Amino acid sequence: MPFYTAQEAARFFLNPLLPVFFIGLILLGRKQRTRLGLFLLLAYLYGVSIPYTSRVIMARWSVADTVNRQNTYDAAVVPGGMVDYKWYVRHAAENDKEIFGYISGYQQLGQSSARILAGVAAIKSGLADTLLLSKVSIRGVNETRILLDFLERQGVEPQKIAVHGKVRHTLAEAKSVKAYCENHGLKSLLLITSANHMRRAAALFRHQGLNPDLLSVSRDNTPITWESFIPSEDGLEDTYMMFNEIAGYLAYLLQGNL
């Protein structure tokens, strides 16, 4: 099974509502439904559906930045996964194609768009000489081409952009970046990714013998308020992303890749 397919299958089991379904079935099948079982089920459901849970855990999961803004790095590495490919798939119908026949230069970025924005800032501010992108194509959507168009419109000079190997996950990204750096004599690297993803990404890069400085984006600095304890769709989504990140880290650790 291809890695990306295995990842997608694993994400199904990381759905925070899945245990509620199975535990509910168990409780329904029991002749005597204990109050304790029902209480634990409701407590779990409450915990995974409030924003507070993931916010507190991921704040401790994130790692400190080590970027030195007095340096000029040989390259800034921005891991893939920044384009909202589902949006492109949804708008691939003929009627939407007709609409986009009259619109040019539009790129639909996803939740991880802060990575590429920080990459643009790193190049234009002189923090890094080269922006390293990977060859990423998901379900027929060529992310690399979309990002290159975006960078052109942001005024990033083509000679400051380099595209390394085709990748499908962060481990392959780390290996590809290592090979590119060895072939092109790049020494100092700045790794730019989301705060939630940085612990895993940094560990994978270091395991490959790379030692990048770190610049995290999308840190959640939202203050804790009473709304943080109200169950919501955002709370469930944040919990799902937390499960996905921690499970991904543990999977790589058990495989000996960290």
Closest-CA residue to 244 (of 10, 47, 86, 46)? 10
Residue 87: pLDDT band by 50, 70, 90 thresholds? confident
Q: Is residue 222 part of a domain?
A: no
Q: Is residue 42 located within the same domain as residue 157?
A: no
pLDDT digits (tens, 9 = 90+) for 115-154: 999 999 999 999 999 999 999 888 888 899 999 999 999 9
Is the confidence at residue 97, as pLDDT, over 80?
A: no
Q: Is residue 175 located within the same domain as residue 233?
A: no
Q: Is residue 97 located within the same domain as residue 181?
A: yes
Q: Is residue 126 part of a domain?
A: yes
Report the chain's terminal Cα–Cα distance, integer Å.
22
Give the DSSP letter string of 29-46: HSSS--HHHHHHHHHHHH
Q: Is residue 122 located within the same domain as residue 151?
A: yes
Q: Is residue 157 part of a domain?
A: yes
Helix (H, G, I), strand (E, B) or coil at 7: helix
| 108 contacts 87 by C-beta, under 8 angstroms | yes
Tell me, what CATH number does 180's domain have?
3.40.50.620
Question: Torsion angle, CA of 99/87/20/240, rounded to 10 degrees?
Answer: -150
Parent domain of 232 = 3-62+228-254
Greater pLDDT, 8 or 93: 93
Domain total in the chain: 2
Give me the residue label for tokens 């989301």. 194
pLDDT digits (tens, 9 = 90+) for 19-51: 777 777 676 666 666 777 778 888 889 999 999
Maximum CA extent, the chain? 70
Q: Is residue 155 located within the same domain as residue 47?
A: no
Whole-angstrom distance, CA of residue 139 vs CA of residue 141: 6
Q: Is residue 151 located within the same domain as residue 205?
A: yes
Q: Is residue 205 located within the same domain as residue 119?
A: yes
Contacts of 240 by beta carbon, 8 Å cutoff, 6+ apart: 14, 15, 16
Q: Which ranges of the chain does DSSP label H, i.e. alpha helix?
A: 3-13, 18-29, 35-49, 51-61, 85-90, 94-100, 113-124, 143-153, 170-184, 195-207, 233-254
Q: Is residue 177 located within the same domain as residue 247?
A: no
Whole-angstrom distance, CA of residue 8 vs CA of residue 12: 7
Q: Is residue 78 located within the same domain as residue 157?
A: yes
Q: Is residue 138 located within the same domain as residue 23?
A: no
pTM here?
0.86
DSSP-derived pairing of the beta strands 141-142 and 189-194: unpaired
Give me the residue label for tokens 């052109």. 152
